[in-house]
Amino acid sequence: MRKSPLLRQTLAIYLLVIILGTLLLIAKNVWVHDLRLADLAEYFFGAMAVLNIVFVSLMQLISYVRLRGVHRYFQGRTVFPQPDRLLRRLFRFPAELFWSMIALSAVLSVAYHGAYGLFMKSSDTWNDLLGSFLSEQALAVTLAVMVYGLLRSALRPYLQQLQQSGTGSARRMSAIRPLMLCYMSCFVIISLDVLRNLVDVAEQEDEIDIASLASIVIVDFLFSLAVFTLLIRGLRQELRDMADGIRSLSSGSRAQLHGAIRIGFPDEMGQLAEAFNAEQERAARRYDQLEEELALAASVQQMLLPERVCRFGSFHVHAEGTIAEAAGEWYDIVPLDRGRFAVACGVVLGRDMPAALVMSAALVLLRSEIRQGRAAGDALQLLLSEWLDLLPKDMRIHMGVALLDPSQNTVQIAAVGFVGIEVRRLSEGGAAVRCLAAGQEAVQSGSLSLQRGDRMTIAVEAGAPDHANLGYKREERAHTRVSVCYDTG
């Protein structure tokens, strides 16, 4: 079972909000109403504790009821049959909690003042009560906006994990409205506090205490700023995440270029992400054919090449190197009559795809010529002359071929261009007994007899010219080589 901290997150949000709200109320009681902490202990602390516990439990209960399915889904306990329903529930949740909180605050506020009237036999006037109630509601709205913003931030990763393809028919909402609402409710808090202070003063026919008025305004100001900062940070984060998502696509491989970014709530940002994904999809379709063609070409080319490892009597043949999709490198292992066989390896230097065209032709032509019994050097010469006029200026064929005759223990070798052939002899301490060095313009050829323990390598030399200059992109590609080992017996 995976861990899903969803419900713990909601609880943390409610606790944070309730602590902030209580602190603000305490501060106001101390400054605005000139109460001492001892006075507060009489009723306020107890009542607030009870109300807070009730509030948090109810909010968490609502969250549990509404998010139960989502929570289970992310714990991996259920496979949710209708992801659409899941999505819609997540979409609606912050707004539901916003309104629940407002309603709950109104009820709790009435309960608080009602109980106060009952137990403390208070002498508060209706005016006082109304003022308190309004002020509390304004505070509740501000805190509800904060809850809304925090819930959105907390739920966004879950929504994105559901990998929605679009926000669909979900009711559009605005990411901006909370900002406006926050301003309005904060304004009401501040102005109500000032007005109530004035009314208090007028009723008690006191002098106005500017210091206490200023301090309450400062507390309100800082509180409002904190809530707004939270909201605007959430908004910024959302935009930044989106930009980061897009950047990560462009730094990835070609397949990733058409990836989608994750969609959160169905607001302006959601629409933006949706529009982006739609464009991505269109672009992907546009290039699908090309990708398909490349993949197919790569598979055809792989098909032209023989198995990498094989045995002819006491000879063990092994080809290595990465033959990448549609490019100019190849190796070949050709069984011939009377137990003879040929090995070859080469590269057509040039851009990958045109090189691949020449490569496939060179491969089959060499096979054909060798099978016809042509000598290694002649076969190379013929191939080069066949292609000499057909190749564009900057393309060249480089290759080496070896024809082995196990019955005679002889080998004919020929190489041209950046392909070298080397025979190392075990009995001579691994020294090279014969080699055709790479880098020759003309076809070199020769022959020698082989001994047990000899090892022959035909390889595209690493010293081949700067591939990048020839548009040969994959410098990191391992060079192709074919080795033939004569068993020691």
Partner 1 sequence: MNPYRLMKRKLVRLYVGMMLGLLAAMNGYNAYVDGSTWAHIFRYDFYFVLAGNAAVFAMLGVLTNMRLRKVKAFFAEQGGPAARTGALRALLRLPAVVGLAFLAGCMLLSFVYHFAEIVLLRIRPLGLVVIRHVMIELAAGATLAILLHGVVRMIASPCASLLGKKDMEGMRPTSLFWPWLGAYASLLAVTCLMLVWSVINGSGMGGVRLESMLAVCLFTFLFGLFVMRLLTSGLLRDIGALTRGMQALREEPANRRFIPVTGRDETGQLAEAVNALQDQIEREYADIRNELRLAQEVQRRLLPAAQHEIGCFRIACHARPAREVGGDLYDVLRLSDRMFAIAIGDVSGKGMSAALVMSAVMTLFRSEARRGGTAGEMMTRLNRQLSETLRGSMMVTLGIGLFDCRAGTLSYASGGHLAPYVIARGSIRAHLFSSLPLGIDAEERYSEEQIALNPGECLVLYTDGVIERMNASGTMLGFERLESALADVPPGYSPTEMLACLRTALQAPAVDHEAELQQSGIHDDDWTLMLIQRADEEGAADA
- Of 134 and 391, the one with the shorter C-beta distance to partner 1 is 391
187 contacts partner 1 (rule: CB under 8 A): yes
- Of 47 and 416, the one with the shorter C-beta distance to partner 1 is 416
Query: How many Å separate Cα 270 from the centre of its chain?
Result: 18
239 contacts partner 1 (rule: CB under 8 A): yes
CA–CA gap between residue 434 and residue 454 (Å, rounded): 11
Of the ranges 110-118, 141-149, 246-254, 478-486, which one interacts with partner 1 (CB under 8 A)?
246-254
- Of 8 and 286, the one with the shorter C-beta distance to partner 1 is 286
CB atoms within 10 A of CB 360: 19
Closest contact distance (angstroms) between CB of 208 and partner 1 is 5
In the sheet that holds 341-349, the strands lie side by side as: 329-335, 341-349, 396-405, 410-417, 440-449
Residues 377-416 that bind partner 1 (CB under 8 A): 386, 389-392, 395
- Of 51 and 227, the one with the shorter C-beta distance to partner 1 is 227
CA angle 405, 411, 414 (to 5 degrees): 130
CA–CA gap between residue 270 and residue 167 (Å, rounded): 7
Sort 288 into a burial class: Cβ within 10 Å, 0-12 / 13-18 / 19+.
Answer: exposed
Neighbouring residues of 268: CB distance < 8 A, sequence distance ≥ 6: 174, 175, 176
324 contacts partner 1 (rule: CB under 8 A): no
Closest contact distance (angstroms) between CB of 66 and partner 1 is 29
CB atoms within 10 A of CB 14: 24
358 contacts partner 1 (rule: CB under 8 A): yes
Closest contact distance (angstroms) between CB of 31 and partner 1 is 14
Closest contact distance (angstroms) between CB of 353 and partner 1 is 4
Residues 257-276 that bind partner 1 (CB under 8 A): 257-258, 268-269, 271-272, 275-276
190 contacts partner 1 (rule: CB under 8 A): yes
Residues 197-236 that bind partner 1 (CB under 8 A): 198, 202, 207-208, 210, 213-214, 217-218, 220-221, 224-225, 228-229, 232-233, 235-236
246 contacts partner 1 (rule: CB under 8 A): yes
CA–CA gap between residue 212 and residue 30 (Å, rounded): 9
Neighbouring residues of 78: CB distance < 8 A, sequence distance ≥ 6: 69, 72
Query: How many Å separate Cα 232 from the centre of its chain?
Result: 25
Closest contact distance (angstroms) between CB of 18 and partner 1 is 23
477 contacts partner 1 (rule: CB under 8 A): no
- Of 59 and 173, the one with the shorter C-beta distance to partner 1 is 173
Residues 99, 181 contacting (CB under 8 angstroms): no
AA identity, residue 390: L
Residues 356, 323 contacting (CB under 8 angstroms): no
Among 242, 380, 397, 482, binds partner 1 (CB under 8 A): 242
- Of 38 and 211, the one with the shorter C-beta distance to partner 1 is 211
Q: Is the alpha carbon torsion for 400, 403, 406, 411 positive or negative?
A: negative
CA–CA gap between residue 105 and residue 433 (Å, rounded): 94
282 contacts partner 1 (rule: CB under 8 A): yes
Among 12, 283, 309, 468, binds partner 1 (CB under 8 A): 283
304 contacts partner 1 (rule: CB under 8 A): yes
250 contacts partner 1 (rule: CB under 8 A): yes
Closest contact distance (angstroms) between CB of 115 and partner 1 is 31
- Of 98 and 472, the one with the shorter C-beta distance to partner 1 is 472
Residues 208, 198 contacting (CB under 8 angstroms): yes
